[in-house]
Amino acid sequence: MPDLRELYQEVILDHNKRPRNFRKLEGANRMAEGYNPLCGDHVTVYLHLEGDVIKDISFQGSGCAIAKASASIMTSHLKGMSKGTALLFFEKFHQMVTGNCHTDPDPLEMEDLDVFSGVSKYPVRVKCASLAWHALRAALVEGEKTVSTE
């Protein structure tokens, strides 16, 4: 039986209560929205890409503790990283929350992202945890919406 404390770890509860980078990003040149029609959660991820580097990243939206903390921790984690590394983290994070972790040694250290490992025992919450990440990926890869810098 999974323990609820594995899901709602202290770090997650803290980020839920005091989300980091929770604002509209002035000077963003990429953004994408994530929406979960099942529960009505939505998130907008803002990026300021300089060349290949995420100079700044922020988010806004509303959602459950898992969705909000995930967006908060994601933005803290990825600031200053290259687009390529961020996408690797997307893959790794997705594998972790869906419980499909590869056993191969992996050069990427999950560090603070690891607090979401408990999500894999709650399949319904995978979408909550990965909502912001999907928006990030859309902003990075598909460039779904380019924000006007005016």
> Contact residues for other proteins (CB under 8 A)?
1, 4, 7-8, 13, 16-17, 38-41, 62-68, 122, 125, 128
CA distances from 68 to 48, 82, 100, 106, 141 (A): 20, 23, 23, 27, 22
Decide whether 22 or 82 has the Cβ nearer to other proteins. 22
Decide whether 69 or 96 has the Cβ nearer to other proteins. 69
State the nearest-atom distance from the C-beta of 72 to other proteins, in Å.
Answer: 14
CA distances from 62 to 8, 29, 103, 141 (A): 18, 22, 34, 24
Decide whether 7 or 49 has the Cβ nearer to other proteins. 7
State the nearest-atom distance from the C-beta of 39 to other proteins, in Å.
Answer: 5
Decide whether 25 or 66 has the Cβ nearer to other proteins. 66
State the nearest-atom distance from the C-beta of 134 to other proteins, in Å.
Answer: 17
Q: Where are the beta strands (DSSP E) in the chain?
A: 30-36, 41-50, 53-62
State the nearest-atom distance from the C-beta of 29 to other proteins, in Å.
Answer: 29
Decide whether 13 or 88 has the Cβ nearer to other proteins. 13
* DSSP letter assigned to residue 127: H
Integer Cα distance of 6 and 70 in angstroms:
15
Q: Half-sphere exposure (CA, 13 Å, Cβ side) for 30?
A: 22
State the nearest-atom distance from the C-beta of 42 to other proteins, in Å.
Answer: 8
